[in-house]
């Protein structure tokens, strides 16, 4: 009985939890002109469910990609490919609307 429970736990863990791959890409790996200290881009890929749709996410002012890991993983679990771009920005969008 114990072996059956362990086998079931293993099957559930490997099929339910392993459906998305999340990894970070440093901007200087794509273009050497970026500063190497800049925050990484986040890429989420679903290996079991594929909608052939891309979610491109750019966080708000002063944010980093790790702050939006939950929403990126949620979209990935739904079957979307996700690219969460790190875009260093110190100007709040609301300040641009006052001009």
Q: What is the CA radius of gyration of the chain?
A: 18
What average pLDDT is seen over the chain? 80
Predicted TM-score of the model (pTM):
0.67
Query: Phi and psi of 86, rounded to 5°?
Result: -90, 115
Domain parsing of the chain, residue ranges? 19-96
Q: Which residues of the chain have pLDDT under 70?
A: 10-18, 37, 88-99
pLDDT (tens digit, 9 = 90+) per residue, 3-13? 888 777 766 65
> In which element (H, E) is residue 82 found?
strand 81-85
């Amino acid at each position: 009985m114990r072996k059956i429970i362990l086998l079931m736990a293993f099957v559930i863990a490997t099929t339910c939890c392993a459906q998305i791959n999340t990894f970070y890409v440093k901007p200087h790996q794509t273009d050497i002109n970026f500063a190497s200290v800049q925050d990484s881009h986040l890429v989420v890929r679903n290996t079991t469910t594929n909608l052939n749709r891309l979610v491109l996410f750019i966080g708000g002012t002063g944010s980093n990609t790790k702050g939006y890991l939950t929403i990126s993983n949620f979209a990935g679990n739904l079957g979307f490919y996700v690219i969460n771009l790190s875009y260093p920005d110190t100007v709040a969008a609301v300040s641009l609307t006052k001009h």
